[in-house]
Amino acid sequence: MNQKLKSYTAQTYIAYALIAPAALYIILIVAWPLLETIRLSFTNSSLAGEDYVGLENYQKMFSSKKFNGIVTRTFVWMFFSVSLKLIIGLIGAVLLNANLKGRSIFRVLVMPPWVVPIAIGMLGWLWLYNGYFGIIAGVGMRTGILDGPFGFLAYKQSAFISTIIADVWVGTPMVTVFFLAAMQGVPRDLYEAAYCDGASRWDRFFKITLPQITPVIITMSLLSAIWTFNSFEIIWILTEGGPRGSTTTLIIDTYKQALGNYKFGRGAARAVVVMILLMLFAGFYLALLARINKKISHE
């Protein structure tokens, strides 16, 4: 017994020693900055120096109409983007899971937007959205939908929609790939049994595939919501949050406040709001994951 206990603690020490470098690194570069951000949010920190100002940053932030608009906008943006990603991803996964010729090539071809540096992909979208010379405006003008050049990123509503579309373009491949992996994990005999019972394609999808991959759909929608919430580069490159703030999400606003104006205190207060929301998402996600894992291990 004593021997066992001893080797157990020795193991623990070795394990901690092996993990220590990575852990310290993360504490220094991620955990400490998170705490420091919280502290800074109670100051008027700038390049000049800092003083504690209590809750002033928060009071100002929550009483500003603009900020409340930004929060609402962030969630609307997220809602559309995430739902589109899930719907397109599900359809894509079903198609890729079907017995089509050359599906392995298609499986590779869906992935580029996910792998390519987002910032570079967005340069392509800037060109597509170009109001005078871009292909989208071009098709619109040729077909008569548009009666002249139209800068998709220059007007409030169209910019809002355009950034969502670009975000969906970036995010869908990953969702598709995860759904596909889940669908391939569904036991074959379920389908065979259903086939023998004469179930139609629709039945098989709605009564077997969908229920079987529901856990993955739920986790992916949460993960996707988190990533979408964090999306910075797409909006920043396409519109920098404009025109007139119409595509300014929380992340963009945080960035602008903090590093556009070097008002660290105000930026930090926004970052704290972002943090709290992210922790809520992450908590949901991890709780869900733990539940799913428990279920699996019980089965």
Partner 1 sequence: MTFILLPFIEMFYASLRPLDHLFRSPYQFYSDDLSFWAYQEMWNTVPMLGRYIFNSFFLASCVAILTLIFVIPAAYAYARFKFPAKNTSLYILLAINMFSGAVILIPLYKLLRTLGLLNSYQSMIIPGVAFLIPTAIWLLKSYFEKIPIDLEEAAFVDGASRVQILRHIIAPLSTPGLVVVGIYAFIGAYAQQFLFAITFNQKKEYMPIPTGLYEFIGYQSVKWNEMMAAALVGMLPVLLLFVFLQKYIVEGLTAGAVKN
Provide the token pair at 256.
């602008």
In the bound complex, what is the minimum distance in angstroms from residue 120's beta carbon to partner 1?
5
Looking at the Cβ atoms of 48 and 196, the one nearer to partner 1 is: 48
**One of 73, 160, 169, 235 touching partner 1 (CB under 8 A):** 169
In the bound complex, what is the minimum distance in angstroms from residue 198's beta carbon to partner 1?
30
Calpha distance 46→259 (Å, rounded): 10
Interface with partner 1, residue 93, by CB under 8 A: no
| Phi and psi, residue 52, nearest 5° | -75, 135
Calpha distance 35→80 (Å, rounded): 32
Residue 155: what residue type?
A: Y
Binding track over 248-287 against partner 1, x by CB under 8 A:
---x--xx--xx----x--xx--x--xx--xx-xx--xx-
Binders of partner 1 among residues 73 to 92 (CB under 8 A) are 88, 92
| Choices 58-66, 102-110, 153-161, 201-209 (CB under 8 A): range interacting with partner 1 | 102-110
| Phi and psi, residue 132, nearest 5° | -95, -45
Interface with partner 1, residue 293, by CB under 8 A: yes
**One of 55, 87, 100, 139 touching partner 1 (CB under 8 A):** 139
Binders of partner 1 among residues 109 to 138 (CB under 8 A) are 109-113, 115-121, 123-128, 130, 132-135, 137-138
Interface with partner 1, residue 185, by CB under 8 A: yes
Binders of partner 1 among residues 189 to 248 (CB under 8 A) are 216, 219-220, 223, 226, 229-230, 232-233, 237
In the bound complex, what is the minimum distance in angstroms from residue 78's beta carbon to partner 1?
13
State how far the alpha carbon of 211 is from the alpha carbons of 180, 208, 218, in Å. 14, 6, 11
**One of 55, 100, 181, 193 touching partner 1 (CB under 8 A):** 181
Interface with partner 1, residue 149, by CB under 8 A: yes
CB 29 within 8 A of CB 21: no
In the bound complex, what is the minimum distance in angstroms from residue 200's beta carbon to partner 1?
25
Interface with partner 1, residue 171, by CB under 8 A: no
Interface with partner 1, residue 32, by CB under 8 A: yes
Looking at the Cβ atoms of 199 and 281, the one nearer to partner 1 is: 281
Question: Which residue matches tokens 């540096």?
Answer: 117
Size of the site for partner 1 (CB under 8 A): 95
How many Cβ atoms from other residues are within 10 Å of residue 177's Cβ?
A: 18
Interface with partner 1, residue 23, by CB under 8 A: yes
Residue 34: what residue type?
A: L
Alpha helices in the chain (DSSP H): 2-26, 32-40, 56-63, 65-97, 103-109, 112-115, 118-128, 135-143, 156-184, 188-196, 201-203, 210-230, 233-238, 250-255, 264-298
Looking at the Cβ atoms of 196 and 296, the one nearer to partner 1 is: 296
CB 114 within 8 A of CB 175: no
The angle, 0 to 180 degrees and rounded to 10, between the axes of the packed helices 65-97 and 210-230 is 140
In the bound complex, what is the minimum distance in angstroms from residue 296's beta carbon to partner 1?
8
For residue 25, the Cα-to-chain-centroid distance in whole angstroms is: 25
**One of 2, 8, 63, 197 touching partner 1 (CB under 8 A):** 8
